[in-house]
Amino acid sequence: MEAKELLNEGLKRQYRVVIPAEELTRRLDARLSEMARTARLPGFRPGKVPVAHLKRLYGRQMMGEIVDEAIRDSVERVLSDNSLRAAYQPQIALEDESGEKVEAVLSGEADLAYTMTFEITPEVEVKDFSGLELTRYRVKVPDSDVDEAVANIAEQFRDYEDKGAGATAAEGDRLTISFVGRIDGEEFEGGTAEDVPLVIGSGQFIPGFEEQLIGARAGEERTVTVTFPEQYGVEKLAGREAEFTVQVKSVEAPVEQAIDDAFAQKIGFENLEALRQRVREQAEGELAQMAHTQLKRDVLDALDEQYDFAVPQRLVDSEFEQIWHTLEHEMK
- Exposure on the CB side of residue 114, measured as CA atoms within 13 A: 20
**Mean pLDDT, range 126-155, rounded to an integer:** 90
Number of neighbouring beta carbons within 10 Å of residue 57? 14
Q: Would the pLDDT of 328 be above 90? A: no
- What is the pLDDT, as a whole number, of residue 47? 86
| Vertex 109: Cα angle to 106 and 113 (nearest 5) | 70
Q: Would the pLDDT of 44 be above 90? A: no
**Mean pLDDT, range 253-270, rounded to an integer:** 92
Coil/strand/helix, residue 64: helix
Distance CA 154, CA 270 (A): 16
- What is the pLDDT, as a whole number, of residue 155? 86
Distance CA 163, CA 200 (A): 14
Q: Would the pLDDT of 121 be above 80? A: yes
> Could you tell me which residues come within 8 angstroms of residue 315 by beta carbon, excluding any fewer than 6 positions away?
87, 88, 119
The CATH label, of 3.30.70.1050, 3.10.580.10, 3.30.70.3270, 3.30.56.10, for the domain at 2-119 is 3.30.70.1050
| Vertex 135: Cα angle to 287 and 141 (nearest 5) | 25
Coil/strand/helix, residue 255: coil
Domain ranges for the chain, please list them. 2-119, 125-157+257-308, 159-254
> Could you tell me which residues come within 8 angstroms of residue 252 by beta carbon, excluding any fewer than 6 positions away?
160, 161, 162, 163, 173, 174, 175, 176
What class does CATH assign to 159-254?
alpha beta
